[in-house]
Chains A and B, each alone.
Chain A
């Protein structure tokens, strides 16, 4: 045991929690990296699928996008990408929007936008898979 208590303003509990002054620890950094890593193969695969689809008539596009393997890759990619963009945009907002009201509104709007994009995209892929 170090004799921290004499010099530090920190309570023993806050040291054990390890969440620092921002109260959120390193979770944000960690998830940014996890989703970034997942994005590399998933986005490249999604890009290949979309290039295949480009210019095709509707029936063929549906057949490609609705193939179980393509649909699973697209859903995983959307899940990872929308998580990555939500926490990424959160940092941008926290860095540039300083007025408290506007900041909270922007942070909430960011969560709404990313969730809506994720669920709309996933629903569309499921519908394409199960039958338009």
Chain B
């Protein structure tokens, strides 16, 4: 592809490396990263369902993989990403109403998102380990 004439001389708008890192900025980036991680997590979930549909033997293999250390780590990461992305989504719904854009409110919302996601993930896994 040929370069558009003059494109190299155009001034560039400041990007990430120019700004001081902020919590709200980090939450925005993490929302994207968790979204991308969940994209592939859904594939693993469907792979488990397909294995269940294929045969008891395929199901045993999938269950063994899920129950291994790596499998458990992936599932733990998946639930955290899911909860973080869901809380981030709720934050976006609050913003959609026009609320929560103030200097204090947006900082609080970011703190609730990260704090809530960590606490809820730990509570969920504690409950799972207690019951199972």
Complex Cα gap A100–B2 (Å)? 12
Q: Hey, which chain B residues are within 8 Å of A47, CB to CB? A: 79, 82
Q: Hey, which chain B residues are within 8 Å of A123, CB to CB? A: 53
Q: Hey, which chain A residues are within 8 Å of B36, CB to CB? A: 89, 92
Determine whether B49 belongs to the interface, using a CB cutoff of 8 Å to chain A: yes
Q: Mark A36-48, 1 if CB is under 8 A from B, else 0.
A: 1101100100010
Q: Hey, which chain B residues are within 8 Å of A55, CB to CB? A: 63, 67, 132
Say whether B82 contacts A117, CB under 8 Å.
Answer: no
Determine whether B69 belongs to the interface, using a CB cutoff of 8 Å to chain A: no
Say whether B46 contacts A120, CB under 8 Å.
Answer: yes
Q: How large is the interface on A (under 10, 10 to 19, 20 to 34, 35 or more residues)?
A: 35 or more
Residue of B66, B82, B93, B132 near A43 (CB, 8 A) is B82
Chain A residue, CB-CB nearest to B49: A124
Given A82-B42, A88-B39, answer yes or no on A100-B53 (Cβ-Cβ < 8 Å).
no
* Distance from B26 Cβ to chain A, minimum over Cβ atoms (Å): 17
Complex Cα gap A95–B82 (Å)? 22
Q: Hey, which chain A residues are within 8 Å of B132, CB to CB? A: 51, 54-55
Determine whether B77 belongs to the interface, using a CB cutoff of 8 Å to chain A: no
Residue of B39, B52, B54 near A61 (CB, 8 A) is B52
Complex Cα gap A121–B43 (Å)? 9
Interface size on B, residues (CB 8 A): 32
* Distance from B132 Cβ to chain A, minimum over Cβ atoms (Å): 6
Complex Cα gap A125–B45 (Å)? 12
Say whether B46 contacts A85, CB under 8 Å.
Answer: no
Complex Cα gap A54–B129 (Å)? 11
Q: Hey, which chain B residues are within 8 Å of A100, CB to CB? A: 1
Determine whether A107 belongs to the interface, using a CB cutoff of 8 Å to chain B: no
Q: B residues 7-46 with Cβ under 8 Å of A?
A: 32, 35-36, 38-39, 42-43, 45-46
Q: Hey, which chain A residues are within 8 Å of B32, CB to CB? A: 92
Please list the 8 inter-chain residue pairs (A to B) with the smallest Cβ-Cβ separation, ordered nearest first: A58-B56, A121-B46, A124-B53, A124-B49, A127-B53, A58-B59, A124-B50, A85-B39
Q: Please list 15 pairs of residues, one from A and one from B, whose beta carbons are closer than 8 Å in the complex, sorted by A's number.
A: A40-B89, A43-B86, A47-B79, A51-B128, A54-B132, A65-B52, A82-B42, A85-B35, A88-B35, A92-B32, A124-B53, A125-B49, A128-B49, A132-B53, A132-B54
